[in-house]
Structure 1
């Protein structure tokens, strides 16, 4: 089906990103996977390309674009090539909205120029060893010093994407106890300097997929965080997190649908070339039926994603609608990619084939951004259950 989401400027940007991937990313990607992260200078390359600051106002060194669609284009192009830009997605898709929405003018002047250039990479630390989707259970805590100049941060986080290379980390912590009426009260966000004494990067976690985005354990032992590095109001973090989750979940829906489209392309190319019993695999009726089923499912997901993108652009994407998109598209992509891998036979299980990378990379989409079980809860609640 014809899409009408993008204009010519978006398509021009797509060409730039596609060329960049072909020349700078694809030739090096296997090595980056072995290293478990992209080179630190790669983020500076992205800064020079302008993609880190697309939605940052010009006064802070960005391009000043207010729309979401350029990020969508970039996600689609990385999926098309079965590559990733390391922790880029967290830096621009998750962290940046918080800085833009809740940062003071002084904080923006201090942080955003380095953010845009790639000299200051960021991450966000929510998940803890005993707390995943239940953010109200966060135990990492920070208390204000007696003179009010700084907070003293203690605790631990895990599964922090970009945590190894991050220069600043948005740490969600408890600055006051929860109340009986509201378990979510008392959470705040501190923007922590990774060079602070007592800040420690623990293990770089080994994942089955997304291997170029470094994922780490972090710990904080009496880390002094200047009071002026509190992001937004003290105790208001849960509301901030809730406000940003629809975009995060939409981005997952975009990414998984793009990955499914890429998987179909790889499968079509493979079955046309691969011969079994003296004829191309593409000639078998089962192959045609599987491809047809995958295409139909993809277009259903794409229609849902495109509608959600337009709603997000106008500020009308609800929490429940984002949950629907994330749930449906991630589950759908899992089914499509699995079928496309099956069409590759034994070669689909080999990492030298991009379908294998898509298979392992996409699996986590049903877990992060809130598990799909949580998405079902949100959707059911919106229906009155």
Structure 2
């Protein structure tokens, strides 16, 4: 007998999904629009997420986590993003980019020091990778870290930009990639170093004025002779580039789940509107043009869900997942933009009004084709995984 795939969730995961679905609709939805319009970080919602254990979801219980995995995290992100992406990206960045590097590459002392507070949501972490002149070309890092052996300290200089969760009142650390030397061929040696918030010389700029994700925290960071203990090196010296590649591969699955949630939220809002909005004496949902739009939107959300869950399953089971993660991230981010555009069209003029969630979704969707690896980078990765040679 040929085995069949079963995509149904376990009772435990389904309960988690339902719990977060209720939280998103009962707690997040009524409040987030006001936060979004004020460009204000939703501390009360974040605290409640911490009490629910969501920030510790994919981490072992010994470090204060919930003992879950990336599939569980993805389910939570999808449900949150069905209502709002600012809240979802706050959780995604805190887990995938803030805490995960410490968990994967930290010493036991670093894990014991940082993870309990990161898992409880009492503290948020950030990942300082992108620089003003170094986006997709992450290997072109210009931030430097010099080891002052006499003092036993790293001395860091440079600038990072577009860093999520880096300037909140509860941000506790930023993991910074920096050039710590050169190899025999002159190639830069990139390492990762933990910089606690409040370290002298570490300056956090004012929040960016963004098109979307307006209830999340995103800032530029600067480092002027910032000194941290040599023990703050995260992982092996010179392995920072490889470490962040691993972090981004995993993070793309989380972003894909978030993008799927946004795409499904567009379906949810558009379906409700199509049933309630009347024109020419009947609901607009009775028009075949609207029905076909909604059918296509549901198709895109459905295939997106299959894509990110496939990638998450491969990761959870210890199988190669790089290509699956790139496929999921590329597909779901495109779908999110497509569904947001169609949802706005279905809502007509109301879709252009910020009081309607689809307007927020339209503003939030585009960044999904850019952050954690642009769509062009995903195509490069997929082509390489297919065995094609790198382009010049």
Unaligned runs of 5+ in 2: none
Q: Structure 1: how far apart are the matches of 2:52 and 2:205?
A: 32
Please give the alpha-carbon distance, in whole angstroms, between the structure 1 residues aligned to 2:161 and 2:196.
17
TM-fit CA distance, 1:29: 1.2
Q: Which residue of 2 aligns with 1:78?
A: 80
Structure 1 298/88 Cα, relative in aligned 2: closer, same or farther at 3 Å? closer
Q: CA deviation at 1:13?
A: 1.5
Change (3 A) 1:332 1:25: closer
Match of 2:251 in 1: 248
5 and 208 in structure 1: CA distance in 2 versus 1, 3 angstrom threshold: farther
Q: Distance in 2 between matches of 1:120 and 1:346?
A: 41
Q: Is structure 2 residue 115 aligned with structure 1 residue 103?
A: no
Which residue number corresponds to residue 153 of structure 1?
A: 156
1:259–1:358 contact (8 Å) kept in structure 2: yes
**CA offsets per residue over residues 307-363 of structure 1, 9 Å max, x none?**
222212212243222112111221122112211210111111111111111111111
Is contact 1:187–1:237 with CA below 8 Å preserved after alignment? yes
Contact conserved, 1:78 with 1:84, CA < 8 A, in 2? Answer: no
Secondary structure of residue in 2 paired with 1:204: coil
Aligned pair 1:12/2:19, yes or no?
Answer: no
Q: How far apart, in 1, do the equivalents of 2:247 and 2:236 lie?
A: 16
Please list every run of at least 4 consecutive aligned residues from structure 1 whose deviation after the TM superposition is greater than 6 angstroms: none
Deviations 1:120-169 (Å, cap 9, x if unpaired)?
Answer: 21101101111101111110101011315111111111101111112210
Relative to structure 2, which stretch is displaced further, 342-351 or 300-309?
300-309
- Greater Cα shift, 268-277 or 311-320: 311-320
2:211 — aligned with what? 208
Decide whether the 8 Å contact of 1:142 with 1:152 is kept in 2: yes
TM superposition shift of 1:180: 4.3
Residues 171-227 of structure 1: per-residue CA shift (max 9 Å, x gap): 11111136647x4x4111111011111110113101111111110011011111111
| Structure 2 residue aligned with 1:69 | 71
Distance in 1 of aligned mates of 2:346 and 2:45: 35
Cα distance in 1 between the residues matched to 2:326 and 2:107: 30
Aligned to 2:284: 281
Choose the corresponding residue for 1:195, options 198, 217, 220: 198
1:234-271 deviations in Å (ceiling 9; x for gaps): 11101111122221111122111221111112111111
* 2:177 counterpart of 1:172: yes
SS class of match (1:238) = helix
TM-score normalised to structure 2 length: 0.91
Whole-angstrom CA distance in 2 between matches of 1:251 and 1:263: 19
With the length of structure 1 as denominator, give the TM-score of the two structures: 0.93
Q: 2:312 maps to what in 1?
A: 309
- 1:28 and 1:291, CA in 2 relative to 1: closer, same or farther beyond 3 A? closer
Report the counterpart of residue 293 of structure 2 in structure 1. 290
Structure 1: distance between partners of 2:43 and 2:232: 24
TM-aligned CA deviation for residue 41 of structure 1: 5.2
Q: Which residue of 2 aligns with 1:47?
A: 50
Cα distance in 2, alignment partners of residues 16 and 299 from structure 1: 21
The Cα RMSD (Å) is 2.0
How many residues in Structure 1 have an aligned counterpart in Structure 2?
381
**Match of residue 348 from structure 1:** 351
Question: 2:264 & 2:26 partners in 1: Cα distance?
Answer: 22
What secondary structure does 2:41 align onto? coil
1:189–1:237 contact (8 Å) kept in structure 2: yes
SS of the counterpart of 1:15?
helix
String of CA shifts for 1:245-298, please: whole Å, max 9, x gaps.
Answer: 221111122111221111112111111111112221111121122222222333
